[in-house]
A = this chain, B = another copy of it.
Amino acid sequence: MVRGRISRLSVRDVRFPTSLGGHGSDAMHTDPDYSAAYVVLETDAEDGLKGYGITFTLGKGTEVVVCAVNALAPHLLNKDLGDIVGDFRGFYRQLTSDGQLRWDPRKLVSCLDFRYITDVLTEEEAYEILQKGQVGKKEREEQMLAHGYPAYTTSCAWLGYSDATLKQLCSKALEDGWTRFKVKVGADLQDDIRRCRLIRNMIGPEKTLMMDANQRWDVPEAVEWMAKLAEFKPLWIEEPTSPDDILGHATISKALVPLGIGVATGEQCHNRVIFKQLLQAKALQFLQIDSCRLGSVNENLSVLLMAKKFDIPVCPHAGGVGLCELVQHLIIFDFVSVSASLKDRIWLHLLVPSYISTCARMCEYVDHLHEHFKYPVIIKKASYMPPKDAGYSTEMKEESVKKHQYPDGEVWEKLLAAQVN
Residues of chain A touching chain B, judged by Cβ–Cβ distance below 8 Å, are 28, 60-61, 63-64, 67-68, 71, 97-99, 114-119, 218-221, 241-242, 244-248, 251, 270-271, 273-274, 276-277, 280-281
Contact = CB atoms under 8 A, between A and B. Distances in A.
Contacts of A220: 118-119
A242 B277 CA distance: 12
A245 B276 contact: yes
Number of copies: 2
Contact of A116 (B63, B245, B273): B245
A248 to B, nearest CB: 7
Nearest to A116: B242
Contacts of A241: 116
A281 B247 contact: yes
Contact of A251 (B61, B119, B273): B119
B98 A60 contact: yes
A161 B224 CA distance: 56
B71 A60 contact: yes
A246 B246 contact: yes
Contacts of A67: 63-64, 67
Contacts of A219: 116, 118-119
A338 to B, nearest CB: 22
A255 to B, nearest CB: 12
B71 A116 contact: no
A28 B61 CA distance: 29
The 10 lowest CB-CB distance pairs between A and B, nearest first, are A67-B67, A116-B242, A119-B219, A244-B273, A242-B273, A118-B218, A64-B68, A64-B67, A247-B277, A61-B71
A115 B63 CA distance: 28
A158 B177 CA distance: 64
A271 B247 contact: no
A309 to B, nearest CB: 15
Contacts of A119: 218-220, 248, 251
A251 B276 CA distance: 14
Contacts of A98: 60
Nearest to A278: B247
Nearest to A74: B60
Nearest to A280: B247
Nearest to A220: B119
Residue with the highest number of chain B CB atoms closer than 10 Å, among A63, A67, A114, A280: A67
Residue with the highest number of chain B CB atoms closer than 10 Å, among A99, A119, A274: A119
B274 A244 contact: yes
